[in-house]
Amino acid sequence: MLTVNFAVPDLARTRFVVSPMDHVLTALTGSRTWAGTRRARWWTRMRGRIPQTAAPLLDVLGACRTGVPDFLVTHPRGTHRQLADELDALAATTPAELRQALAGCGAGRGVPRIVVELREGDTRPLRWLADGALALFRTCLAEDWSDIQRHLQTDIAHRAQVSGEAGIGAMLGGLHHRVGWQEDGVLRCAVGGPDRTVDLAGRGLELHPNFFVQDGVGAVLVPGRPAVLLHPTTGPSTDRGTSTADPLSGLIGSARARVLRAVGQAPCSTTELAARLGIGLSSASAHATALRTTGAITTQRQGRHVLHLVAPLGRALLSAGT
């Protein structure tokens, strides 16, 4: 049981944080922590696409049987974090932080070399971990990230409404059935590991809604940093297994529905399309080619630029899918 003690300043400083790095980590480790069917479906689709560059990250996670090492859950500023900032924070981990986080990881024979090096305070392999996380996000998460973000923002808006109408205690107590709020300012969370008590000391609590977390809650407690609580989201799933609730996705697939809607916002180049959706340039080009082949969009040269525009068929599909 985790007991979190709130003072009045902590209530005011409790905030929601959207973290891409959290989702990279829970996507890789969710089967043995808190994830449920969403993560399982994601893993079924993506396990064959895991890039070789992610191998060092997988080695570290595999060697730490008690959970994700604290240093991988980074704490850059801001409530809507960018993966680049989180990876910079990871690369800036100090030797002392590495020794503390990995003290109980990878004991015995057969420990991956990267774990031994990090545990001894060698910071050079941190860049390999950052590169692996970035490659995995781009290959396996980027095409779904805009949908996941919308799902997270819907959850945050719902909980903010509960907080405004019934108080922050009611919102905190409603995070999960394993979380309970007491009127004396104490939050009790049934999490794995030994019993712990944390005084927030005016830093507040970071609430990290996570698309892959379904079966429980998780805590990240690093001395000197804000306490983090990962919790499930509520509301309809954006997982591809249920995406047919969107008529347009049912007609042309969820990925191409997102591309068509993005082009429908305004004419754009392939580079601009990739940026709007947070996906790779090759993926954006492939989806645009498929939509152009079916007549949903057209491609025209305007000056020095080649732009994608919605065709009459595409406008009809967008109208039918709203």
Cα–Cα distance between 67 and 247 in angstroms, integer? Answer: 39
**Pairing state of beta strands 2-5 and 196-199?**
parallel
Question: Is the same domain home to 260 and 199?
Answer: no
Question: Is the same domain home to 263 and 119?
Answer: no
CATH no. for residue 291? 1.10.10.10
Query: What percentage of the chain carries pLDDT values higher than 70?
Result: 88
Question: Is the same domain home to 135 and 278?
Answer: no
Category of 67 on φ-ψ map: left (φ > 0), alpha (ψ -120 to 50) or beta: left
Q: What is the dihedral of CA 51, 141, 72, 59, to 10 degrees?
A: -30
List pLDDT tens digits, range 275-321: 787 777 888 888 888 888 888 899 998 877 889 999 988 888 887 65
178 belongs to a structural domain: yes
Q: Write down the residue that tokens 């601009």 correspond to.
A: 272
Total domains in the chain come to: 2
Per the structure, the complete domain to which residue 133 belongs is given by 2-231
* pLDDT surpasses 80 at 231: yes
Question: Is the same domain home to 262 and 216?
Answer: no
8 belongs to a structural domain: yes
Question: Is the same domain home to 217 and 270?
Answer: no
Q: Write down the residue that tokens 């969820």 correspond to.
A: 254
Question: Is the same domain home to 285 and 208?
Answer: no
Average per-residue pLDDT in the chain? 83
**b/e string for 66-79 if b means 16 or more Cβ within 10 A?**
ebbbbbbbbbbeee
Question: Is the same domain home to 168 and 276?
Answer: no
Q: Which two tokens mark 126?
A: 């941190």
Neighbour tally for 248: CB within 10 Å: 20
Question: Is the same domain home to 294 and 182?
Answer: no
Give me the residues paired with residue 297 across strands. 310
Residue at a domain's end among 231, 256, 276: 231
Q: Where are the beta strands (DSSP E) in the chain?
A: 2-5, 15-16, 179-182, 186-189, 196-199, 205-209, 218-220, 227-231, 297-302, 305-310
Q: Which two tokens mark 96?
A: 């002392």
239 belongs to a structural domain: no
Question: Is the same domain home to 201 and 304?
Answer: no
Q: What is the dihedral of CA 142, 144, 150, 156, to 10 degrees?
A: -80
Question: Is the same domain home to 200 and 55?
Answer: yes
List pLDDT tens digits, range 185-195: 888 888 767 78
Residue at a domain's end among 204, 231, 258: 231
List pLDDT tens digits, range 57-114: 999 988 887 778 888 887 666 666 789 999 998 999 999 989 888 887 766 677 889 9
Question: Is the same domain home to 196 and 257?
Answer: no
Question: Is the same domain home to 34 and 113?
Answer: yes
Q: Which two tokens mark 127?
A: 């860049």
237 belongs to a structural domain: no
Q: What residues contact residue 92 under an 8 Å CB cut-off, 6+ apart?
A: none
Residue at a domain's end among 231, 262, 290: 231
273 belongs to a structural domain: yes
